[in-house]
Structure 1
Amino acid sequence: MRFAYVNGRFLPHGEASIHVEDRGFQFADAVYEVWSVREGKLMDADGHFDRLERSLGELRIPTPRSRAALEHIIGELLRRNRIRNGLVYLQISRGQARRDHAFPKQAVQPTIVLTCKRLDHAAAEARAERGIAVVTVPDQRWARCDIKTVNLLPNVLAKQAAHEAGAVEAWQVDRDGRITEGSSTNAWIVTKAGKLVTRQADHGILHGITRARIFKCAQDVGLEIEERGFTPQEAYEAREAFLTSATSFVTPVVSIDNHSIANGEPGLLTLSLREAYLGEA
């Protein structure tokens, strides 16, 4: 049986529910986090907890559980679901209140939901070995993408556009013609000079926890990183390209808008960064 956690209770997954007037459901007034789990351990645990606390603070949602309590709940949820390799999803909304756009006048208890599921790491490894295709789409999101909210409709539409084009991911392009990030990943290229390039961590992108770890991995081997936006044309002409996230780790990109990147094979630098990241996990 699969279990979920809702507001202090472990419940059969099919019976877990929230109130119809929960503000996360009605207004996307909620934040979330995702941890990968390898051999029963949360990857980059502290980074994700730090970002969760920042997101809650930016939306002025009270933290409903301490970090230690959340770690205990996650551990128990993984135990009940018998998961050693997979992911954990955590969502916290402002809570249940009579429908009104403004924050509730009276304090309400935030809603907390946790679920988990298994992931096929062998399939992910196989995909990394052959590389993936991405397409570019206009970035239609709001101006605070650095907050990890559940307001993901533009991301959903971008991901669907990628799937309909036979690709795995969509890289979003801002009004200045520069790539911000993927629908659920951070975007990177390797220039012909061997520099790593990724969008600067401003309000236009989610500050990826895996992204931050790749900075460390790159610096450990003396690679130079440029934090700036890059155009689709730059990406087409790049030596290598890849994306990062908590669930894809470091995944090579071998095609962008049907333009083959380099020779259409995963780049050696990308694969070495993936190996370095997983080796430290």
Structure 2
Amino acid sequence: MTEKIMKNNRLYEKAHLTIPQGSGLVYEVIRVIDRAALFFREHYNRFCSTARKKGVTDFMSFSSFLAMTDHFIQAQAKSSFNVKVILDVKNQDVYLFESPSSYPEKSLYESGVHTELMPYDRSDPNAKITNPELTNLVEARRRETGAYELILVDRHRFITEGSRSNVFFTDGTSLITPPLHSVLPGVTRQRIISTAQAQGIPVREELIPADSVTSFQGAFVSGTSPKILPIRSIGEHPFQSARLPILLDLMSAFDREIMKDLNSYREISESQAVHTRIIHSEANM
């Protein structure tokens, strides 16, 4: 089956459509597992929030966005992949296409990953907008250091987030993460916080000085592809994150949360599909 790209709810072959590129595009990356979109409502809400920041106040309804996305998912040859949604603010065109993805191998969850600190200030950390400058800087630094992820440090020497993830630290009994105003409001981040709280794990949002990382027992990055991925080291400082009971319990609880959400998506999308078929049937009577 030829790979499909969607523009404004119409499918095209990949070779027949040019996708917008450059800075300032509103976008989301949604993980699809067995043809179900993970944390779909949260992604829609954040997409709308960023669109409003860019002046788009009348973006499509949740039901229309769901129908469009599910149409795209079901048309793909793959059943599991990442889908990228882009809004070209100037023309208000919406594109959906498969986004290159890299899911961590099982061994990385068992050992953790190496990370490095990198000075960088996002101009608007709460908005999910394309930023080729940061992408290029990160790729160069990753090649130089061999780091799986770069953890950004702002001008005041506080840790903010990963270049493509959020970051959490632990003292062994609670989670500590940078405050929401200084980071992208990650969908996975928020679900991890609610899952931890449901497990009785305290979560604190507070400023984290870059030179304080050695005071923590462990850390992890979170995101669409990695979910909860333990950190083995930040620079030269080692952690035993992957062995900490608090993280092992949280990872298991979060996997259960994922399965619940995927089942919820299937129920909602099937319900909407049935509703749409009824409307079409009545219109043709």
Does the 8 A contact of 2:29 with 2:99 survive in 1?
Answer: no
Is contact 2:109-2:242 (8 Å) kept? no
Aligned to 1:69, the other structure's residue is in SS state helix
Q: TM-score, normalised by structure 1?
A: 0.84
Query: What is the aligned partner in structure 2 of residue 71 from structure 1?
Result: 66
Q: 3-state SS of the aligned residue for 1:90?
A: strand
Q: Which has the higher helix share?
A: 2
2:255 corresponds to which residue?
A: 278
Equivalent residue, structure 2, for 1:198: 177
Confirm whether residue 148 of structure 1 aligns to residue 128 of structure 2: yes
Secondary structure (helix, strand or coil) at the match of 1:235 reads helix
1:133 aligned residue: 114
- State whether residues 140 and 154 of structure 1, in contact with CA within 8 Å, keep that contact through their aligned partners in structure 2: no
Opposite residue 161 of structure 2, the aligned amino acid is: E
User: Structure 2 vs 1, CA of residues 73 and 137 (structure 1 numbering), >3 Å: closer, same or farther?
Assistant: same
Q: CA RMSD in A?
A: 2.1
Report the more deviating stretch, 57-66 or 204-213: 57-66
AA matched with 2:177: T
Tell me the amino acid that sits aligned with residue 17 of structure 1: T
CA-to-aligned-CA distance 1:81-111 (integer Å, 9 cap, x gap): 123222111000113xxxxxxxxxxxxx412
Amino acid aligned to 1:162: R
User: Match of 1:133, SS?
Assistant: strand
Q: Is 1:2 aligned with 2:3?
A: yes
Higher relative contact order (CA 8 A, sep 6+): 2
Deviation of 1:152 (Å):
4.3
Displacement of 1:178 after TM fit?
1.1
1:254 maps to 2:232: yes
Deviation at 1:219, TM superposition (A): 0.8
Larger mean Cα displacement after TM superposition, 65-74 or 129-138: 65-74
1:115 aligns to 2:97 (yes or no):
yes
- Change in Cα spacing, 1:245 to 1:110, as seen in structure 2 (3 Å) is same
Structure 2 CA distance for aligned equivalents of residues 118 and 82 of structure 1: 15
Matched, 1:31 2:13: no
Match of 1:214 among 186, 192, 208: 192
Q: Using a 3 Å threshold, how does the CA distance of structure 1 residues 117 and 34 change in structure 2: closer, same or farther?
A: closer
Q: Tell me which residue corresponds to 1:21.
A: none
Partner of residue 104, structure 1: none
Change (3 A) 1:119 1:56: closer
Deviation at 1:67, TM superposition (A): 2.2
3-state SS of 2:29 partner: strand
Gaps of 5+ in 2: 259-285
* SS of corresponding position for 1:91: strand
> What percentage of aligned pairs have identical amino acids?
21
Q: Where do 1:81-100 residues align within 5 Å?
A: 81-95=76-90
1:268 to partner: Cα distance: 2.9
Alpha-carbon distance, 1:64 to partner: 4.6
- In the superposition, relative to structure 1, how do residues 201 and 120 fare at CA in structure 2: closer, same or farther (>3 Å)? closer
